[in-house]
Amino acid sequence: MAADAGQHSTFHGIGVSAGIAVGPLVVVTPAPTAPADEAPTTDAAAASALVHGVLDDVAKGLEARAAVAGDHAKPILEAGAMMARDPGLAMGIDNHLQAGKGATNAVTAAVEEICTMFESLGGYMAERVTDLRDVRDRAVARLLGQPEPGVPTLTAPSILAAQDLAPAETATLTTDTCLGIITAAGGPTSHTAILASQLGIPAVVQATGILGVAAGTTVAIDGGVGEITVNPTADEVTMLEERKKRRAAALAGGTGKGATKDGYPVALLANIGTADDAQKAAKQAVEGVGLFRTEFLFLDRDTMPTVAEQTATYTAVFEAFGDRRIVVRTLDAGADKPLKFADLGPEENPALGRRGIRLGMIRTEVMDAQLEALAAAYKATGADVRVMAPMIATQAEAMWFAAKVRALGLPKVGIMIEVPAAAIRSKGILYHVDFASLGTNDLQQYTMAADRMQGELAELLNPWEPALLDVIALACEGGAAMGKPVGVCGEAGGDPALALVLTGLGVSSLSMAPGKVPAVRTSLGLHTLERCQQMAAAARAATNAAEAKAAVLSIADPVLSDLL
């Protein structure tokens, strides 16, 4: 490799969204804070005019972005503009200026006062503080003569680099100008990773070196293997372009049902979260939905959605998929995703608290209304509906849920396996239900006792971790003993190499972001069931995640490396 004296370098992060891109780097600037040694205000009237002018500029900037933004981002940006022009905020700032605070400190103090009020109201209002602080950051940056923080407007196709990206920051990204995403923080299940794979934008997280690279530098990113090349040589770019072409060619292979080379069927399904997702996913070559998250109907609400409203939404989703299967997960809320109308109060360890089925068994009215609506939508459409409950740990919970679902005439009932206890004793639990689906993200967090939201623990959260594969194998053994299908609906199912291991372990369906289905389909079609089983054995025999992956790739078809 021809090294380009001093400037050329290569480093690695964790690849979270496959694909290759080359382009100029755009760096997301961090938000400045109000300087502690800022000069006090002596002329309050002049300072007030200055701050109001700056807030007006912030509002104009947000409005300009809203004008060209998509349906999702538009209201977020418009709400920000309205906050920047708010007379109540202006009055709060003026009070601090009159008391002698410098401009940036006055803005910060006034915003924090409103944030405190909002946070005390909780729920929907507490979430608005993010938008309000975004307005503050923009105003403070302008007052300091700096560019506004956050994602700049991308005018040319670029690769975005940031410490991490907030939901509001990613809301405006589109595939025509954002070629790739690199973050220094974040993990494989972070917001950035999920969004990037949904949009099909190559992405690498945990790439700590990226913040040392200057804006405008040409960077090549391989989101499959997590490799970043700074100032790539012409040869390297050619090599990556060829890989990109080979990848496209490999993906062009068919839209049929998922199966191994020797015809062993593995259903390829989509993960969806809204009725909108359902419309989009239904148009793609997927065999149905393996995970319909129903939370969107419940979160951010003051009152429970009515049975009629829920029925209408479920009916629309079921209709979109015709006779293809739809696996619905009942409400998965808890202390970290609190419901305003069924809040059980704060908990010390939300991930280990009263969430999922545990909340459902306390707030039975919420569970009952949801099941009633699902049953009505099933009767209206006759769709292949399968209902499952999250966070099952015991046979008693599975029995309780199955009895409720069956009493309503719903045809199939299942459970999520996210708790190691359920994986270890899946045989007994599967006695009571028709199927199980492995939520690998939570199953890994609980197996490794590592918070999945904490980027620093990414190493413990590598889905190739042999301990996780052992737990999945136990779950599949129970399924095989009972003759009941066990699927996967976590991120692991969308990895073209790991999908082979899961198939080898005995998983019969894989559900993923719809954009990941073509690569997994191609990968399955290149390998026999026997080879998948060999891969599963090799991965489980490894001493760590990296070894497990290497062992699998060493016996895989060479084309697989183009899919990663």
Partner 1 sequence: MATRHVSIASSVGLHARPASLFVQAATATGLPVTIAKEGGNPVDARSILMVMALGAKHGETVTLVADGEGADAALDSLVELLSRDLDAE
Residues that bind partner 1 (CB under 8 A): 82-83, 86-89, 91, 114, 117-118, 121, 124-125, 128, 132, 302-303
Residue 31: DSSP 8-state = P
CB 93 → partner 1: shortest distance, Å? Answer: 12
CA distance 240 to 561: 12
Quick one: 113 or 319, whose CB is closer to partner 1? Answer: 113
DSSP string, 421-490: HHHHTHHHHHTTSSEEEE-HHHHHHHHHT--TT-GGGGGGG-TT-HHHHHHHHHHHHHHHHHT--EEE-S
- Distance, in Å, from the CA atom of 403 to the CA atom of 392, rounded to the nearest integer, reads 14
* DSSP character string of 376-408: HHHHHH--EEEEEESS--SHHHHHHHHHHHHHT
User: Which of residues 131 and 495 has its CB atom nearest to partner 1 in the complex?
Assistant: 131
Task: Answer left, alpha or beta for residue 328, where phi above 0 means left and psi between -120 and 50 means alpha.
Answer: beta
**Which pair of tokens denotes residue 153?**
């407007």
The CB-of-70 to partner 1 minimum distance in angstroms stands at: 20
Looking at the Cβ atoms of 115 and 168, the one nearer to partner 1 is 115
Measured from the Cβ of residue 180, the count of other Cβ atoms closer than 10 Å reads 27
Q: How far is the CB of 95 from partner 1 (least distance, A)?
A: 13
Catalytic residue among 8, 12, 52, 191: 191
- Residue 11 or residue 341: which is nearer to partner 1 going by CB? 341
Q: In whole angstroms, what is the distance from residue 369 CA to residue 359 CA?
A: 14
Cβ proximity of 107 and 135 under 8 Å: no
- Closest distance of CB 362 from partner 1, Å: 24
Please, which residue, 118 or 321, has the CB nearer to partner 1?
118
State the minimum distance, in angstroms, from the CB of residue 383 to partner 1. 30
Q: Does the annotation count 115 as an active-site position?
A: no
Shortest distance (Å) from residue 247 CB to partner 1: 45
Residue 52 or 128: which CB sits closer to partner 1? 128
| CA neighbor of 272 nearest in space, from 301, 295, 249 | 295
Which run of H or E residues covers position 316? helix 307-320
Active-site entry in 178, 476, 489, 532: 489
Amino acid letter, 304: M
User: Catalytic site residues?
Assistant: 191, 489
